[in-house]
């Protein structure tokens, strides 16, 4: 594999002289080979990160990533880009904190600017009851060595003065928790950066290649059937988000996952007005402002199950009502786009990362509404799991078997808005 | 300044109503009927803005929703609106607008320095740099953020109000051009309820922009007659200035009506905008088409417009936007602009990409002696700001190169026509699939959807005749499908129009390689050039979505209305795949941006979420009690006397309930009336204990578990009659419990004969607790015997209290002798007052939620949602006694048998006592066994409830602690950020350990 040109201001200037006509491909588009050591099904951020870490951390480079559409086209390219690690339970806190640490050096590691912006993340509390819940989480995070702090009303006001601090608000603001290291990143860049990094290490990224079945005999996987033919491999990792249940069904087992539409929206771009990420469970919205100037908003999930990537308009309207309630000055901004994705939700709102009833077949799914932030560690631990045929201590608790043992990791309280 | 470009006559403007306005601080005049864009062009103002990335000088490009360039900051202060499209802003007296994204002024914009460095800023450059040193990203980002964005957001709350409306109709017609009006007429005549919407102030669409004849008269005569007839039909509603922005499932269409914007100032007192939700049996889409620009070198100078826009400005607004024009076109419709300009006295040269141009308008132009350069291209343009000239060159036969030498044509106006793209946005949002039509070089609707009809240009049927005939047919078909009889109507006669073949060149050739020298813009707003698209492909971003995201083409506020197809075609040429194989990006709502405030409408403040108040709310308010939000409810928190602190008030209330009588309004408790012969089966499913033998008139406490065996609600249920039960739930859990039981009944046990009704709002519940409770109630009732024998603990009696029909429950959440009196809600306050009056001699003391929490914590009674969090089993709470061993099944039973759920070192509910009796541990505090100098520390659990208890005379706390029951007597630590508190683990009960007080 030829080394890639290093991206930098110098290479930009150098290429400017040749009208940028000599840039090479960020990743190749090869024809699939008949056999690989490992196949990753799903070319989203998690799948590409898995391939990248398989090559980088475990020296396994004979890897194909199979994507039915275009890489990063599912929830990677649809989410609201929030990154944080303020999870309640030890297992989750460690997993997401590992991700946050990887995020902190990711642009340099990948030599691809993923624009990880640690602009801080406020979780608002609107009642003493919510303050108690935030306090519990902040104390737990601190004892796990993870940054998080409680803010009183005045501290919240100093940090985000454009919020509605009226004591007459329907749900007045009482305080907040703050994770200063939290923030946002450029979602597409994460997929592209991992793709470029994986490709440079020899991974084949194969788009427009849908997996239609698994080759399984004697309880062992030997490959996959695809729209571009059979591809053999004795290890297959599935990272297919909203469609994981469909793939599990093809492999002959069931997942405890429900798929729901989740919607998001952006406003027209405006000059900087909101410098941090703000989340409110009681008023049901979360919002940040992108580097382009758009407000990026997330809604709650639609309550019905669906594989269609659209939700009901009512949910979106409620989200904007909540936005104006929290930020009265946003009323005259305009909504540019709304869209939906499919989220795969586990009963305990925590992911599944590990082995399956089929030997050599691994699943990484169930990230619900919060998978983007975990992309680096999700790929990192999944690569470890596939390479060693056993989980890393960081994802040991996240196996499928927890639904029969009952060792659930209930993170419903950690979601940005109530789900 | 005079309106230099205004024609002496013609147009749809009202010359009797001149309107003054300010643009960038200068005063101008226009007329009623103008848009801001047409008024600016009338005053020869072309240069109105700066582009997003390179800060290039930009002018008005279009005349409607497609406009990418002319975005302005409208008005000031609380009413300022960023990113308003000048082409869709109706002019009003006193309008104030200014250019965006430039500093200090539009002309002398420092950001234009970006343009000098544009060579090193190709598409996606930011992914390749700003990475070193790593800690500098936040600094780089600050500058990037300041440079980005377009207009300035308001800094004050919005003074305007918005409304929502809902409407059903038989036929919704979107678009009031000739096709839409014909459809509305055909449907309206049948008697169907019709709604006709159009985004513009004046209905008529292309009839307003193009000269044409219907039935031998000017087309506008037909328009006036048709609109007159529509207004006379009682079932037809016409909504101008109304955009259909979203097409949702089952023919639900979102409309945004601009009621007040065009009035200026405070909108004349009406709401600014109204958001409609229309559910239509049938929808007719007559949304027209949008003209495409041509991609040539420096095609973005002010003075370069879409050809159709030039035609519109002449015919509709009586504005000739220049004195010397060049029209570049690959089709016949581009000649409309040339003819319109020529008619207005502007000299015109037509550059036709076709080597052998044809078409009726071409013939007219030729007949008039207009200069026509066939087989020519525009190689580049000139001007420092406004366009001053173009260089035209003959092309090779294949259109890929130029031959000969260029000729410079001086001009101050350029019109371009790259063909038309049907406005398929709504069709596509509805789930419709697109088909690429090679002849039209456009995507057209590929399949017909049920409940939906298409007419005119949106189908790719161009020309007035097609619009009218398809419009009448679609309207009639829609009415028929909605159950009406539509009589066949004669379609008006129009001159035959045969569209001539067009020539599509997606990038016009020039003497220089693409991107060398000039810039060939595809997406004007986001500054995406043809070279950027090719760079993306070169770098491996080949999927249309990748190209879009990498270059940001089509992602501006115009959502690519003028750029998407050009970008797609250039992409397809570059990758060497046919356009349909490359595919389109998804069309997402809204069609044009919609005000956030309109979605919020009036659902703000107190209307954000309904406020639920109990019958004693007003009484409590009068005595100065504060409230707390519990779910949607306002509950009285405590009842302070004058000058009393919360701590003192709560202590007083807690003591009163244990020494004499406390009274509490518990009306917020969820109440569900359960009736039917299978009621007991349902109870046996949803509760962990057995319900078969509950006698009529007796009550029982129950826990509900979710599928994982975790406690999710609790409450007391009472058997009222043979097949009749009264269930209570927690306050905030009430909706969840009802939904839970309904889900099981509807999905799993539809055969059960049992009905659930929420009666929370129907019953007021007043709790009376304390040693004197029985004495007090006995004074107020004649027909209820209160002695233990006839009215034991956990039972219910019906009768009268204070003359009010009542159900009295003898249950207790305090551990005291206690009655909960339920009366119809409207009697709630009367009962409260009667009890307060009669209780004076016992010093009856009202208490709020805080005292209620302390009282129950003293007894170790849990609050679901506070002492539990969805991870707690009955066993964890020490409540195994309530889990039936005999019942064959109940919800959650299977999960209780799982290995992890059976562990004996799970977190158990225990009590905690601090060393210092007056110190209360903060709720949420984490408990550790071993303190370390710094984290991480192993956490054993957390404090769920913590209070000062005056009855125990010290602080008390409940906590969930790993293996807690085995730790009773152990010393642990609450580890807080600023201090540690040493605690001793105890049983989770602190008062009346024998439990005798409940009997008085």
Both tokens assigned to A29: 């588009």
Whether chain A has a CB inside 8 Å of the CB on B610: the answer is: no
Contacts of A119 in chain B (CB under 8 A): 138
pLDDT of residue B212: 87
Mean of the per-residue pLDDT values of chain B: 96
- What is the C-alpha separation between B943 and B461, in angstroms, rounded? 71
Nearest CA in chain B to A313: B248
The continuous run of DSSP H or E covering B549 comes out as helix B544-551
Closest to A130 (Cα-Cα) out of A288, A284, A300:
A284
> What is the reported pLDDT for B496?
67
B335 touches B361 (CB < 8 A): yes
Q: Do B149 and A323 touch (CB under 8 A)?
A: no
Query: Is the pLDDT assigned to residue B642 strictly greater than 80?
Result: yes
Task: Locate CATH 3.50.50.60 in chain B.
Answer: 162-289+422-495, 293-418
Average pLDDT of span A87-106: 97
- B162-289+422-495: CATH superfamily: FAD/NAD(P)-binding domain (3.50.50.60)
Mean pLDDT of A78-90: 95
Query: Where residue A414 falls among pLDDT bands split at 50, 70, 90?
Result: low
Q: Compare all CA atoms of chain A with the CA of B126 and give the residue at the minimum distance.
A: A113
- Candidate CATH numbers 3.40.309.10, 1.20.1250.20, 3.10.20.440, 3.40.50.800; the one for domain B1-158: 3.10.20.440
Are the CB atoms for B510 and B97 separated by under 8 Å? no
**pLDDT for the residue numbered B583:** 85
State the pLDDT at residue B122: 92
Query: A271 and A74 in contact (C-beta within 8 Å)?
Result: no
Rounded mean pLDDT, B522-544: 96
The rounded Cα B846 to chain-centroid distance in angstroms is: 44
Interatomic CA distance for residues B738 and B735, integer angstroms? 5
Of B312, B251, B324, B242, give the one whose Cα is nearest residue B281.
Answer: B251
Interacting residues of B172 by C-beta distance below 8 A, sequence separation 6+: B194, B195, B197, B244, B251, B253, B278, B280, B282, B283, B284
pLDDT of B86: 98
Chain A residues with beta carbon closer than 8 angstroms to that of B425: none
Helix ranges (H only) for B761-805 are 773-778
Distance separating alpha carbons of residues B866 and B263, to the nearest angstrom = 53
The pLDDT of residue A419 is 35
Q: Could you confirm whether domain B293-418 is CATH 3.50.50.60?
A: yes
Q: Tell which B residues from 456 to 515 touch A, by Cβ distance under 8 Å.
A: 513, 515
Is residue A417 pLDDT above 60, yes or no? no
Length of chain A equals 419
pLDDT at B943 over 60: yes
Q: Tokens 């992602």 — which residue? A: B555
Longest dimension (CA), chain A: 66
Interchain contact B933–A (C-beta under 8 A) = no
Nearest-angstrom CA–CA distance, B135 and B153: 29
What are the b/e assignments for B495-521, b being 16+ CB within 10 Å? eebebbebbbbbbbbbbeebbeebbbb
Handedness of CA B233, B235, B236, B238 (dihedral sign): positive
- The CA distance from B92 to A400, in Å, is 64
Category of A115 on φ-ψ map: left (φ > 0), alpha (ψ -120 to 50) or beta:
left
**Percentage of the residues of chain A whose pLDDT score is greater than 90:** 92
CA B201 to chain centre: 25
Which B positions 857-886 lie with beta carbon below 8 A of chain A?
866, 869-871
Given a contact cutoff of 8 angstroms between Cβ atoms, the answer to whether B712 and B870 are in contact is yes
Q: Which residue of A has its CA nearest to B129?
A: A8
Q: Which two tokens stand for residue B713?
A: 């609600």
β-bridge partners, A205? A65
- Residue to mutate among B600, B635, B707, B898, with most A CBs inside 10 A, is B600
A-interface mutation test, from B248, B599, B632, most A Cβ less than 10 A away: B599
Binned at pLDDT 50, 70 and 90, residue A249 comes out as: very high
Helices (H) and strands (E) in chain A, counts: 11, 19
Q: Which residues of B touch A144 (CB under 8 A)?
A: 935-936, 939
Which tokens is A78 given? 């649809």
- Phi-psi region for residue B709, left (φ > 0), alpha (ψ -120 to 50) or beta? left
Reported ipTM: 0.96
Long-range (24+ apart) CB contacts under 8 A made by B761-764 are B761/B612, B761/B825, B762/B671, B762/B824, B762/B825, B763/B667, B763/B671, B763/B807, B763/B822, B763/B823, B763/B824, B763/B825, B764/B614, B764/B615, B764/B665, B764/B667, B764/B822, B764/B823, B764/B824, B764/B825, B764/B827, B764/B828, B764/B829, B764/B831
Residue A186 makes CB contacts below 8 A (sequence gap 6+) with A81, A113, A114, A115, A291, B127
Q: Which candidate from B611, B901, B977 shows the least CB-CB separation from A406?
A: B901
pLDDT tens string B805-817 = 999 999 999 999 9
Kindly determine whether residue B601 and residue A28, on different chains, have CB atoms separated by under 8 Å.
Answer: no
DSSP letter for each residue of A215-264: EEETTEEEEEEETTEEEE-SEEEE--GGGHHHHHHHHT---S-EEEEEEE
How long, in residues, is chain B? 1000
H-type alpha helices, B721-785: 734-747, 773-778
Task: Burial-class residue B915 by CB neighbours within 10 Å (0-12, 13-18, 19+).
Answer: exposed
Confidence bin at B489 (pLDDT 50/70/90)? confident
Of B130, B148, B557, the CB nearest to A113: B130
> Looking at the predicted structure, is the pLDDT value of residue B646 above 70?
yes
User: Are B708 and A346 a contacting pair, CB within 8 Å?
Assistant: no
pLDDT at B584: 84
Give CATH 3.30.1360.120 domain extents, chain B: 627-666+766-856
Contacts A168 to B, Cβ<8 Å: 605
Q: By the CB < 8 Å criterion, does B277 face chain A?
A: yes
- Taking the mean position of all CA atoms in its chain, how far away is CA B38? 32
Pairing of strands B845-846, B662-665: parallel
Q: Å from B557 to nearest chain A CA?
A: 6
CB contact (8 A) between residue A316 and residue B599? yes
Q: Where in chain B is the domain with CATH 1.10.10.1100?
A: 515-575
How far, in Å, CA of B376 to CA of B356, rounded? 11
Q: What is the mean pLDDT of residues B402-414?
A: 96
Percent of chain B whose pLDDT exceeds 90: 93
pTM for the structure as a whole: 0.95
Q: Do B540 and A143 touch (CB under 8 A)?
A: no
Residue A288 C-alpha, separation from nearest chain B C-alpha, in angstroms: 13
Asked if B795 contacts B782 with a C-beta cutoff of 8 angstroms, the reply is no
A-B Cβ pairs (cutoff 8 Å, strict): 312
* CB spacing of A189 vs B926 below 8 angstroms: no
The helix (run of H) or strand (run of E) holding residue B166 is strand B162-174
Classify residue B826 as left (phi > 0), alpha (psi -120 to 50) or beta.
Answer: alpha
What's the pLDDT score for residue B89?
A: 98
- Other Cβ atoms less than 10 A from the Cβ of B444: the count is 20
The structural architecture, per CATH, of the domain B627-666+766-856 is: 2-Layer Sandwich (3.30)
Region for residue A316 given its phi and psi (left: phi exceeds 0; alpha: psi -120 to 50; beta: otherwise): alpha
Closest Cα of chain B to A10: distance in Å? Answer: 9
CA distance B258 to B540: 44
Residue B184 above 80 pLDDT? yes
Residues of B in contact with A337 (CB under 8 A): 559, 588-590
Nearest to A400 by CA among A277, A253, A272, A292: A253
B769 against B583, higher pLDDT: B769
Separation of alpha carbons B728 and B133, rounded Å:
62
**B94 alpha carbon, distance to own chain's centre:** 32
Q: Which whole number is the average pLDDT over B934-961? A: 97
pLDDT range class, residue A2, cuts 50, 70, 90: low
For chain B positions 418-457, those within 8 Å of chain A (CB to CB) are: none
Does domain B903-999 fall under CATH 2.60.40.10? My reply is: no
Q: Please name the residue that has the structure tokens 């940090």.
A: A159
* Residue ranges of chain B that CATH labels 2.40.30.110: 903-999
Residue of B145, B595, B707 lying closest to A347 (CB–CB): B707
CA-to-CA separations, A2 to A5, A27, A200, in angstroms, rounded: 9, 11, 7
Instruction: Choose the mutation target among B131, B248, B611, B930 for the interface with A, i.e. most A CBs under 10 Å.
Output: B131
In terms of C-beta density within 10 A (0-12 exposed, 13-18 middle, 19 or more buried), how is residue B761 classed? exposed
Nearest CB to A267; choose among B596, B600, B629: B596
Lowest mean pLDDT of A2-6, A250-254, B173-177, B572-576, name the range: A2-6
Q: Which residues in B lie closer than 8 A to residue A178 (C-beta atoms)?
A: none
pLDDT mean over B635-658: 97
Distance, CA of A116 to CA of B476 (rounded, Å): 56
Q: A85, A348 in Cβ contact below 8 A?
A: no
Question: In B485-558, where do the E strands start and end?
Answer: 521-523, 528-529
SS3 B511: coil
B154 touches chain A (CB under 8 A): yes
Is omega for the bond preceding B305 within 30 degrees of 0, making it cis?
Answer: no
* CB-nearest partner of B156 from A136, A325, A329: A329
In B67-96, the residues whose Cβ lies within 8 Å of chain A are 79-83
Which tens digits make up the pLDDT trace of B663-673? Answer: 999 999 999 99
Distances (CA, A) of B355 to A24, A53, B233, B359, B659: 38, 57, 51, 13, 104
The domain B515-575 having CATH identifier 3.40.50.720: the answer here is no
Where are the strands (E) in B39-92, listed by range? 47-50, 57-59, 71-74, 81-85
For residues B843-881, one letter each, b for 16 or more C-beta atoms within 10 angstroms of the residue's C-beta and e for the rest, the string is ebbbbbbbbbbbbbbbbbbbbbbbbbbbbbbbbbbbbee
- Please, which residues have CB within 8 angstroms of residue B162's CB and are 6 or more apart in sequence? B271, B272, B273, B274, B275, B595, B597, B598, B600, B601, B602
**b/e map of A227-251 (b: 16 or more CB within 10 Å)?**
eeeebebbbbbbbbbbbbbebbebb
Residue B748 has pLDDT above 80, yes or no: yes
Q: Is the dihedral of CA B776, B782, B786, B791 positive or negative?
A: negative
d(CA A266, CA A290): 9
Residue B194: the pLDDT is 98
Alpha-carbon dihedral A154, A158, A164, A170, rounded to 10 degrees: -30
């Amino acid at each position: 594999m030829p080394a890639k040109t290093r991206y930098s201001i110098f290479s930009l200037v150098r290429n400017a002289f040749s009208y940028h006509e000599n840039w090479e491909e960020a990743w190749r588009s090869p024809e699939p080979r008949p056999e690989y050591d490992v196949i990753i099904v799903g070319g989203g951020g998690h799948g590409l990160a898995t391939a990248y870490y398989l090559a980088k951390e475990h020296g396994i480079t004979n890897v194909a990533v199979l994507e039915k559409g275009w890489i990063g086209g599912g929830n990677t390219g649809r989410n609201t880009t929030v990154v944080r690690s303020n999870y309640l339970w030890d297992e989750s806190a460690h997993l997401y904190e590992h991700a946050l640490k990887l995020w902190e050096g990711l642009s340099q590691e990948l030599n691809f600017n993923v624009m990880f912006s640690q602009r801080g993340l406020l979780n608002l509390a609107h009642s003493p009851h919510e303050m108690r819940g935030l306090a519990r989480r902040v104390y737990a995070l601190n004892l796990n060595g993870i940054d998080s702090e409680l803010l009183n009303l005045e501290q919240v006001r100093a940090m985000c003065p454009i919020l509605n601090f009226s004591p007459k608000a329907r749900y007045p603001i009482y305080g907040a928790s703050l994770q200063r290291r939290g923030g946002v990143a450029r979602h597409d860049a994460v997929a592209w950066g991992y793709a470029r990094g994986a490709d440079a290490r020899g991974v084949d990224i194969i788009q427009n290649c849908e997996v239609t079945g698994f080759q399984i005999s004697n309880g062992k996987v030997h490959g996959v059937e695809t729209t571009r033919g059979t591809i053999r491999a004795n290890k297959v990792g599935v990272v297919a988000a909203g469609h994981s249940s469909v793939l599990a069904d093809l492999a002959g087992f069931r997942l405890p996952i429900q798929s729901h539409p989740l919607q998001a929206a952006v406003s027209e771009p405006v000059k900087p007005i909101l410098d941090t990420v703000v989340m409110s469970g009681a008023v049901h919205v979360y919002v940040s402002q992108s580097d382009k100037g758009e407000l990026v908003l997330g809604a709650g999930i639609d309550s019905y199950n669906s594989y269609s990537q659209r939700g009901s308009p009512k949910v979106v309207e409620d989200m904007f009502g909540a936005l104006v309630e929290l930020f009265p000055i946003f009323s005259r901004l305009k909504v540019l786009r709304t869209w939906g994705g499919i989220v795969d939700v586990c009963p305990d709102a925590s992911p599944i990362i590990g082995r399956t009833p089929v030997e050599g077949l691994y699943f990484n799914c169930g990230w619900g509404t919060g998978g983007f932030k975990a992309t680096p560690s999700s790929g990192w631990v999944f690569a470890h799991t596939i390479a060693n045929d056993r989980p890393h201590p960081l994802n040991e608790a996240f196996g499928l078997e927890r639904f029969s043992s009952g060792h659930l990791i209930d993170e419903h309280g950690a979601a940005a808005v109530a789900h | 300044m005079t309106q230099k470009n205004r024609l002496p006559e013609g147009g749809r403007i009202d010359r009797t109503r001149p309107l003054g306005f300010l643009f960038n601080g200068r005063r101008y005049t226009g007329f009623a009927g103008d848009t801001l864009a047409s008024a600016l062009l009338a005053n020869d103002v072309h240069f109105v803005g700066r582009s997003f990335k390179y800060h290039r000088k930009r002018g008005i490009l279009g005349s409607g929703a497609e406009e990418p360039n002319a975005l302005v900051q409208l008005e000031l202060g609380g009413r300022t609106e960023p990113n308003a499209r000048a082409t869709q802003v109706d002019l009003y007296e006193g309008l104030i607008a200014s250019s965006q994204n430039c500093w200090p002024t539009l002309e002398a914009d420092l950001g234009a320095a970006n343009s000098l460095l544009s060579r090193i800023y190709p598409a996606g450059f930011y992914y390749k740099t700003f990475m070193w040193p790593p800690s500098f990203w936040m600094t780089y980002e600050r500058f990037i953020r300041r440079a980005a964005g377009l207009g300035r957001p308001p800094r004050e709350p919005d003074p305007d109000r918005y409304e929502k409306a809902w409407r059903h109709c038989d036929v919704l017609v979107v678009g009031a051009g000739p096709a839409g009006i014909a459809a509305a007429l055909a449907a309206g005549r049948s008697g169907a309820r019709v709604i006709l919407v159009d985004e513009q102030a004046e209905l008529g669409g292309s009839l307003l922009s193009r000269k044409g004849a219907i039935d031998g008269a000017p087309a506008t005569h037909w328009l006036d007659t048709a609109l007159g007839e529509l207004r006379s039909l009682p079932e037809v509603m016409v909504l101008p200035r109304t955009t259909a922005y979203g097409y949702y499932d089952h023919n639900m269409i979102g409309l945004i009506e601009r009621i007040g914007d065009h009035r200026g100032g405070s909108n004349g007192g009406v709401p600014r905008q109204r958001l409609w939700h229309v559910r239509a049996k049938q929808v007719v889409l007559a949304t027209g088409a949008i003209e495409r620009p041509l991609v040539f070198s420096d095609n973005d100078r002010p003075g370069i417009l879409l050809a159709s826009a030039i035609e519109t400005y002449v015919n509709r607004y009586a504005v000739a936007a220049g004195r010397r024009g060049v029209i570049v076109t690959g089709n016949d419709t581009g000649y409309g602009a040339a003819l319109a300009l020529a008619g207005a006295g502007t000299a015109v040269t037509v550059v036709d990409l076709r080597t052998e141009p044809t078409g009726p308008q071409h013939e007219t132009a030729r007949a008039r002696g207009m200069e026509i350069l066939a087989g020519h291209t525009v190689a580049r343009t000139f001007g420092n700001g406004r366009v001053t000239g173009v260089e035209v060159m003959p092309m090779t036969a294949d259109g890929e190169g130029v031959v000969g030498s260029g000729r410079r044509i001086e001009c101050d106006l350029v019109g371009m026509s790259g063909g038309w793209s049907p406005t398929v946005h709504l069709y596509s949002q509805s789930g419709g699939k697109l088909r690429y039509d090679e002849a039209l070089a456009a995507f057209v609707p590929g399949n017909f959807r049920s409940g939906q009809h298409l007419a005119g240009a949106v189908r790719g049927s161009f020309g007035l005749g097609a619009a009218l005939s398809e419009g009448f047919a679609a309207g009639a078909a829609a009415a028929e499908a909605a159950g009406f009889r539509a009589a066949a109507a004669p379609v008006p006669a129009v001159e035959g129009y045969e569209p001539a073949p067009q020539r599509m060149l997606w990038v016009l050739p020039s003497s220089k390689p693409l991107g060398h020298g000039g810039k060939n813009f595809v997406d004007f707003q986001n500054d995406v050039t043809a070279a950027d698209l090719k760079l993306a492909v070169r770098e491996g971003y080949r999927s249309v979505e990748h190209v879009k995201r990498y270059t940001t083409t089509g992602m501006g506020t115009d959502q690519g209305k003028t750029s998407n197809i050009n970008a797609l075609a250039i992409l397809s040429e570059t990758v060497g795949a046919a356009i349909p194989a490359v595919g389109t990006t998804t069309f997402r709502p809204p069609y044009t941006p919609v005000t956030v405030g309109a979605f919020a409408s009036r659902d703000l403040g107190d209307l954000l979420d309904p406020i639920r108040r109990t019958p004693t709310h007003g009484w409590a308010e009068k005595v100065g009690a504060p409230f707390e939000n519990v779910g949607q409810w306002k509950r009285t928190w405590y009842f302070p006397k004058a000058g009393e602190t919360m701590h003192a008030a709560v202590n007083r209330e807690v003591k009163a309930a244990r020494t004499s009588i406390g009274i509490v309004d518990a009306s917020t408790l969820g109440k569900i009336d359960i009736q039917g012969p299978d009621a007991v089966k349902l109870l046996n499913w949803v509760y962990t204990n057995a319900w078969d033998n509950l006698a009529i008139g007796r009550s029982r406490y129950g826990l509900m578990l979710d599928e994982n065996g975790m406690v999710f609600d609790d409450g007391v249920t009472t058997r009222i009659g043979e097949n009749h039960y009264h269930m209570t739930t927690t306050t905030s859990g009430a909706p969840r419990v009802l939904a839970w039981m309904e889900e099981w009944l509807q999905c799993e046990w539809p055969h059960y004969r049992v009905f659930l009704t929420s009666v929370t709002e129907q019953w007021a519940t007043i709790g009376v607790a304390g040693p004197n409770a029985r004495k007090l109630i006995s004074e107020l009732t004649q027909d209820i015997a209160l002695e233990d024998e006839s009215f034991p603990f956990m039972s219910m009696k019906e009768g009268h209290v204070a003359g009010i029909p009542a159900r009295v429950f003898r249950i207790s959440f305090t551990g005291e002798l206690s009655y909960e009196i339920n009366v119809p809600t409207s009697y709630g306050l009367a009962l409260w007052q009667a009890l307060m009056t009669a209780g004076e001699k016992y010093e009856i003391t009202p208490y709020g939620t805080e005292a209620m929490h302390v009282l129950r914590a003293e007894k170790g009674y849990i609050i679901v949602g506070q002492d539990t969090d969805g991870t707690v089993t009955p066993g964890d709470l020490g409540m195994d006694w309530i889990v039936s061993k005999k019942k064959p099944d109940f919800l959650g039973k299977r999960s209780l048998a799982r290995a992890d759920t059976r562990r004996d070192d799970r977190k158990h509910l225990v009590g905690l006592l601090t060393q210092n009796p007056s110190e209360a541990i903060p709720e949420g505090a984490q408990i550790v066994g071993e303190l370390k100098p710094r984290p991480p520390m192993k956490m054993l659990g957390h404090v769920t409830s913590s209070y000062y208890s005056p009855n125990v005379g010290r602080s008390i706390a409940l906590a969930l602690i790993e293996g807690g029951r085995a730790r009773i007597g152990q010393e642990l630590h609450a580890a807080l950020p600023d201090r540690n508190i040493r605690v001793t683990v105890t049983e989770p009960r602190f008062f009346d350990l024998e439990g005798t007080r409940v009997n008085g």
